[in-house]
Structure 1
Amino acid sequence: MTAPDDQDIDTMLAALLAPPERPGDRGFAIGVERAIDAQAAYAHARRRFWRSFVFEALAVAALLAALWLLSSAPTLAPLAGAAHWGLAPPLLLILLLWFGTQRWRQA
């Protein structure tokens, strides 16, 4: 009994493991392209959301700092109360309600 040559084994394995000959699947390619486009659109929307969120969070922080400074002013001390936050909660509530309505309006 003779052992097959390595070249013959390689040729046989290449023939057995080769993908079948057939035309390309156009529907699959279109589906992959759509998935890539959807993923890119989602990534863009996500970046836009986070950029907007950070900007608005900084704006709210600046307004809170302004409210705190205003509530500690001597002319507004009777309105602020002992804790220097008597004026801030109602104004903060108005600000948060406005912020929420702006978010819903954009959606």
Structure 2
Amino acid sequence: MFLSCFVHLPALSEDSRTGNVRTGRLRVQSDNAFVIYMNGEQVAAPEKEIRLSSGINRLIAIVQGGREDFAFGMVFLNSDGTYMNDLEYRLTMDEVEPK
């Protein structure tokens, strides 16, 4: 399964020390194997660190599994474990058949 999620991060305040990037974590719930890409780059350990830029970010999740039903959930967290409440999302989901 191929999941595409557009994540909008509002512009950060000008006094931010991190510039236009916010670092946090992505909590993922799934019994299936998955790979996460953010803005075209594979994220090796999204549960430990993920970086969002101000504006639109594209997250791709490739979830492995058969034809059975599956559950997949994800939540963006700040580095301190609190929710990133100011994000906006748009999710698409497509089945991808191997060629």
TM range (shorter): under 0.3
| TM-score normalised to structure 2 length | 0.22
TM, length-normalised to structure 1: 0.21
- In terms of fraction of residues, the more strand-rich structure is 2
**Structure with greater helix share of residues:** 1
Larger radius of gyration: 1
Higher RCO by CA contacts (8 Å cutoff, separation 6 or greater):
2
